[in-house]
Structure 1
Amino acid sequence: MARNHFKYIILGGGVAAGYAAREFVKQGLKAGELAIISKEAVAPYERPALSKAYLFPQGAARLPGFHVCVGSGGERLLPQWYIEKGIDLILSTEIVKADLASKILTSASGVAFTYEILIIATGSAAIKLSDFGVQGANANNIFYLREIEDADKLVEAIQSKRNGKAVIVGGGYIGLEVSAAMRINNFTVTMVYPDPWCMPRLFTAEIAAFYEAYYVSKGVKIIKGTVAVGFDINSDEDVKSVKLKDGRVLDADIVVVGVGGRPLTTLFKGQVEEEKGGIKTDGYFKTSVPNVYAVGDVATFPLKLYREMRRVEHVDHARKSAEQAVKAIKSTEASKTLEEYDYLPYFYSRSFDLSWQFYGDNTGETVLFGNSNPTSPNPKFGSYWIKDGKVVGAFLESGTPEENNAMSRVASVQPSVLDLERLQTQGLHFAFHI
């Protein structure tokens, strides 16, 4: 038991774990104090690569190229780095029981790990159609993209089903990014989603219209307003078609499903306070249990800018919340004060030749500006969200780093706006005057 005791344990081996480890080292860490326990077989990596360059037919991203912390321009933390820093990287280890009162984590193989301080960084799991009893949903070549093992299986299928037919179920991040990657791999692609437009949680109808038209111009067929209700399989139990609720049947060699995720909090049910689907924390990511912190997708935290509790599923928040939790731990140990987490929501995506960034909140009225013609050789446009006379959100497609920084500043400062027509005319120039 003694050799499985650590001062700090990070449970989960995703993006947050890697950034937390780096922050521990920055703040001062002794060899043997920290362990990262992950059910994945590889050191923490930048997960967003899996739906983008990892699937490319040429110049594909591969490990060790995208280990953390390269996603934010930092040092790449190779497995050797953890050894050099005296951090125990405990991989291919699934924790099946967490006793927070006794500070004991138990693995599937029966090994017990004890700790003084725990950081819960378990992230999310992909929602699967089989969870809803969809007929044929367990067929071969139906993929979900969450971990590198999922991506490897998808790459293998892409190579074995060259120039085949792909059906993408879902119109969010995974749907849009994987549809683009499958077209780049020369697949015939159909994207299916129930909503009136793509990315409905963020995009307005006007923004979505641009991306849908652009995707159609790239050869992606889009079917809206319906869902997959079943799959036909062949004698090898490979998927061969997708049955839609509206009666249509789509031939398919590969199906990729991206219909959202669920925070992995089951291990802690009844032991820790929860809110809005996540583990409730304060501005330092402390939970209701002493010496237990929660970061990333699983944390519901006070979003200072909007004076409300919110859970955010995005890599940027995973990175920053992990760093904040470690700073809080070390500040407490040193009897120092630390500012509460002050986060500006940030989302981004890249597909084909497009790249957008969004900052802030997407509530209130909207003003679209710029060139949003999908047939234009160089489209560039943006949108502001205005609530109670203030700009609370800012979106920009094809912005330069300087322009994106200006949009970030707008969403953070929340300047007042009286004339929406003038704001539309000013467009991007408005951001540079804040």
Structure 2
Amino acid sequence: MAEKQFKYVILGGGVAAGYAAREFAKLGVNPGELAIISKEAVAPYERPALSKAYLFPQGAARLPGFHVCVGSGGERLLPEWYTEKGIELILSTEIVKADLAGKSLTSSSGEIFKYDTLIIATGSTVFKLSDFGVQGAEAKGIFYLREIDDADKLVEAIQAKKGGKAVVVGGGYIGLELSAVLRLNGLDVTMVYPEPWCMPRLFTAGIAAFYEGYYANKGVKIIKGTVAVGFDSNGEGEVTAVKLKDGRTLEADVVVVGVGGRPLTSLFKGQLEEEKGGIKTDAFFKTSVADVYAVGDVATFPLKLYEELRRVEHVDHSRKSAEQAVKAIKASEGMGAVEEYDYLPYFYSRSFDLSWQFYGDNVGETVLFGDNDPSAGKPTKFGSYWVKDGKLVGAFLESGTPDENKAIANLARLQPPVHSLDQLAADGLAFASKI
């Protein structure tokens, strides 16, 4: 088979790949030096759109509208942009073998791609219920959301099952965002999750109470403390019901599953040092193998602010780590200097007319402030602080203005001392103006 040689190869075609390509173009890359290899059929796009605007009943987002880098307010990189920059987009190509010592990648069709420097940006894949042996989990009408093809299939199902019953399995990011958008499409929605409240990795009980109440007011039914253990289907193999561990059975025309994922690192097993489920890197995203970098979801990196190794699954980190790796590569070639990655953890979500942001670390004692009563039926401004060892380490805010969100980010970065939790609760958002 044909063999192609590149100076730089980015493996993966998600958000990180697009932001890395932009950074290469900014710092200087010659035509033919850089290739992006992706198993998807389209140029890199802003993945968060898939669980939000892509599924809207009116004014839905479609490509080319959300190619990177519009998600951070930058120029939209259309497929022709890569052509103009001399960057080769190798799409619909799945890599099945990586030989890091030999600096080569092999595709499922036998093509070989050689490189001088590799950036691993393979991202994550979703956990499927069939992975856990759940009975009937292969039925038609059970959906997962990771790539644009998944979103297209879900759009088709939503349109075909207007007014039907949807069951969302999982109460995290995907569960909350998709429950909202399915409800906006007029489906009868039930969300099921095993935890005592939604989004337990981040939300406290007080935060979650608002969202659960708000969703209930919008017509989303919530069943907590149980899991899906099986699915019924009809003669055509289409899902008709979800069987729960607590004995209940829910009718279902559409099922969407969002129960987490895992980083795609299997190609590199035994070739790279790993830690905490990801590929271990330094503060420049260099791995244990020379000329190999790992960014985004797959990287376990030193989080300077907390002096520990972490793996972060979020679009903001995918963008910034990709840019950092390219700066480091160029610095190693004598093009300027690059500082250590100094990342402030940041998460956000939008659903219905709600929009929250979180910065920092969600450890220690918590203080809830503002009005978290969902009965008003409209967004209210409330938030939470996390305090550890006498310092504010994390901040969450619903319905903040851009300036207010900037202020809570500043708090999480500076970690100011907190002398009284009661006073902090009384001050609420005003605490930020004191810093």
Moved over 4 A (4+): none
Structure 2: distance between partners of 1:146 and 1:85: 28
Question: What is aligned with 2:302?
Answer: 302
User: What SS does the corresponding residue of 2:293 show, helix, strand or coil?
Assistant: strand
Q: How many residues align?
A: 434
Please give the alpha-carbon distance, in whole angstroms, between the structure 2 residues aligned to 1:100 and 1:275.
Answer: 18
Report the equivalent of 2:36. 36
Read off the aligned partner of 2:177 and give its amino acid letter: E
Matching residue of 2:101: 101
- Cα distance between partner residues in 1 of 2:246 and 2:207: 26
- 1:356 matched to 2:356? The reply is yes
Q: 2-side partners of 1:118 and 1:281: how far apart?
A: 13
Quote the sequence identity (%): 77
2:433, 2:101 → 1: CA distance?
52
* Cα separation, 2, equivalents of 1:304 and 1:2: 43
Which residue of 2 is the match for residue 81 of structure 1?
A: 81
Q: Tell me the distance in 2 between the aligned counterparts of 1:117 and 1:165.
A: 49
In structure 1, the residue corresponding to 2:374 is in which secondary structure? coil
Unaligned runs of 5+ in 2: none
Q: Which residue of 2 aligns with 1:146?
A: 146
1:209 match: 209
Map 1:344-423 → 2, pairs under 5 A: 344-376=344-376, 377-423=378-424
* Structure 1 residues 28-427: aligned runs within 5 Å: 28-334=28-334, 336-376=336-376, 377-427=378-428
Answer yes or no: is the 8 Å Cα contact 2:51–2:178 preserved in 1: yes
How big is the shift at 1:336? 3.9
In structure 2, what residue type is equivalent to 1:225?
Answer: G
Encode CA deviations 1:150-187: one digit per residue, 9 max, x unaligned: 00000000011111000000000000000000000000
The alpha-carbon deviation at position 433 of structure 1 amounts to: 2.0
Note the alpha carbon deviations across 1:88-108, whole angstroms, 9 max, x for none.
000000000000000010000
- What SS does the aligned partner of 1:178 have? helix
Amino acid at match of 1:183: R
The answer to whether the Cα contact below 8 Å between 2:381 and 2:399 also exists between their aligned partners in 1 is yes
RMSD across aligned C-alpha pairs, in angstroms? Answer: 0.9
Query: How many angstroms does 1:432 deviate by?
Result: 1.9
State how far apart, in whole Å, the 2-side matches of 1:302 and 1:432 are. Answer: 30
- TM-score of the superposed pair, with normalisation by structure 1: 0.99
Paired residue type of 1:125: T
Which amino acid in 2 is paired with 1:429?
Answer: A
State how far apart, in whole Å, the 1-side matches of 2:173 and 2:2 are: 44
Give distance in 1, aligned partners of 2:3 and 2:19: 25
Return 5+ residue gaps in structure 1 as ranges: none
How many Å separate the matches in 2 of 1:159 and 1:337? Answer: 52
1:371 Cα deviation after fit: 1.0
